[in-house]
Amino acid sequence: MSRVEIRVTISSDQDIVVARQKGRSLALELGFSSGDATLIATAISELARNIVSYAGSGQIALKDLQGSTRVGITVTASDTGPGIPNVSQALRDGFSTSGSLGLGLPGVRRLMDEFEIDSKPGQGTRVVVKKWRP
């Protein structure tokens, strides 16, 4: 059960900054070190940017994560954009359809502890990532 939920609508590059700032402060509130808060904010930045670049608009939801013995944070990035036809390809370092570095998704996976992606062509993409407080 979570106690906090913060939603940020993502439709422009300004919103990316807002989302990652909110993510950082929630992470700090939950007791993450500032180093970890930076990792979390960076992951949020990548996910939000993908929404702006590929789906146009969507949402970032930030929640606390209450495990039986530990606390964490969940970040959910969702959009109703074009979806990703080949997810495993998109998760590979260096794959990009926009001529970019192709490090966003695989990087987010390294930055966070848990990573789930669900994408259907024509319907949208949903990425759920979690990080636990050590």
Partner 1 sequence: MEVPILKQGAVLIATFQAALSDADLNHLRSALVQQVVRFRSRGVIVDVTAMDVMDSFASRTLREIAHIIRLRGAETVIVGIQPEVAFAMVQLGLTLEGVATALDLEEGLAYLNQKFKTMK
Partner 2 sequence: MAKRDESSELLRELVAHLRQNRTQLREEWVGRISETRLLTAMTKEEIFAEATSVYDSYVEALETETFEALQAYARNLSERIIPRGVETHEVVGIVLLLRDVLARSLFAKYQTDFKKLNRILDAYEPAANRIANTVAVGFVQERERVIRQQQEAIRELSTPVLQVRERLLILPIIGVIDPQRARQLTEQLLRGIRTNRAKVVVIDITGVAAMDVTVANHLVQTVEASRLLGATVIVTGLSPEIAQTLVTIGVDLGKMNTVGDLQGGIEQAERLLGYKVMALAEPN
Ligand X SMILES: Nc1ncnc2c1ncn2[C@@H]1O[C@H](COP(=O)(O)OP(=O)(O)OP(=O)(O)O)[C@@H](O)[C@H]1O
Whether 73 and 110 have beta carbons less than 8 Å apart is answered as no
C-alpha of 83 from chain center: 15
The rounded distance, in Å, linking the Cα atoms of 70 and 93 is 31
Please work out the total of residues on this chain that contact partner 2, with binding judged by CB under 8 A. Answer: 5
Q: Which is nearer to partner 2, 36 or 46 (CB)?
A: 36
Task: Indicate the residue among 13 and 29 with the shorter CB distance to partner 2.
Answer: 29
Cβ at position 80, least distance to partner 1 in Å = 22
Closer CB to partner 2, 15 or 36, in the complex: 36
Quote the DSSP letter at residue 93: T
- Provide the minimum distance between the beta carbon of 64 and partner 2 in the complex, in angstroms, as a whole number: 12
Q: What is the CA radius of gyration of the chain?
A: 14
- The nearest distance, CB 25 to partner 2, in angstroms, is 20
Residue pair 23/76 in contact (Cβ under 8 Å)? The answer is no
Contact with ligand X (CB under 6 A) among 54, 74, 115, 118? 54
Residue 115 interacts with ligand X (CB under 6 A)? Answer: no
